[in-house]
Amino acid sequence: MTTGEDMSPIDALDARVLELFAAEPRIGVLEASRRLGVARGTVQARLDRLARTGVVRGFGPEIDPAALGYAVTAFVTLQLAQGRGHDPVAARLAAVPEVIEAHTITGSADMLCRVVARGNRDLQRVIDMIVAVRGVERASTVISLADQIPHRTLPLVRAAAQQP
């Protein structure tokens, strides 16, 4: 018996399509089909399916916060007031532009946020905004010194394509 966890959502051609579009997001379907040696309709159908199933979440530009002047990245763990839920806090955090990710987590904290700031003094302003959010009881912050492995997904694409 096969479970959904045993089956990969992509195959080798999907992986090649994803790698090509990740490397050259503006390539276009016609040029991609030429380079991959498959029909234009095949590439388009693959992209449509990958988007429909949620494997591909978007085709927008990748934006570097540092290039926008937000050179400091920090990770903030939050302890939340019990009984109020995570969703209201997350909704309020979404109003803070410098909060670029928020995750509900296990362990001693309840939520982990990745935040950016223009500098250390600006980071204090961002943290003050976060702790002012109703439902946040305590915050602990660590500053990222260097991006050793930037956000990546292509190794997962390759691994998923090799699964049966």
Q: How many residues does the chain have?
A: 164
Model pLDDT for residues 40-54, shown as the tens digit of each residue = 999 999 999 999 999
Task: Tell me what pLDDT residue 61 has.
Answer: 84
Element (H, E) at 158: helix 154-162
- Hey, do 12-61 and 65-144 end up sharing a CATH topology, with the first three levels equal? no
Cα 93 from Cα 82, distance rounded (Å): 17
Model pLDDT for residues 71-87, shown as the tens digit of each residue = 999 999 999 999 888 99
Which residue is associated with the tokens 């040696």?
A: 37
pTM of the complete model: 0.83
> Which are the contacts of 54, defined by CB distance < 8 A and separation ≥ 6?
none
Buried b (16+ CB within 10 A) or exposed e, 70-106: bebbbebbbebeeeeebeebbebbeebebbeebeeee
Domain residue limits, the chain: 12-61, 65-144
Which residue is associated with the tokens 């016609």?
A: 30
Cα 62 from Cα 154, distance rounded (Å): 15
Average pLDDT in the 139-149 region? 96
Q: 65-144 architecture in CATH?
A: 2-Layer Sandwich (3.30)
Which fold does the domain 12-61 belong to in CATH? Answer: Arc Repressor Mutant, subunit A (1.10.10)
Q: Which residues pair with 103 in a beta bridge?
A: 112
Model pLDDT for residues 79-138, shown as the tens digit of each residue = 999 988 899 999 999 999 999 999 999 999 999 999 999 999 999 999 999 999 999 999
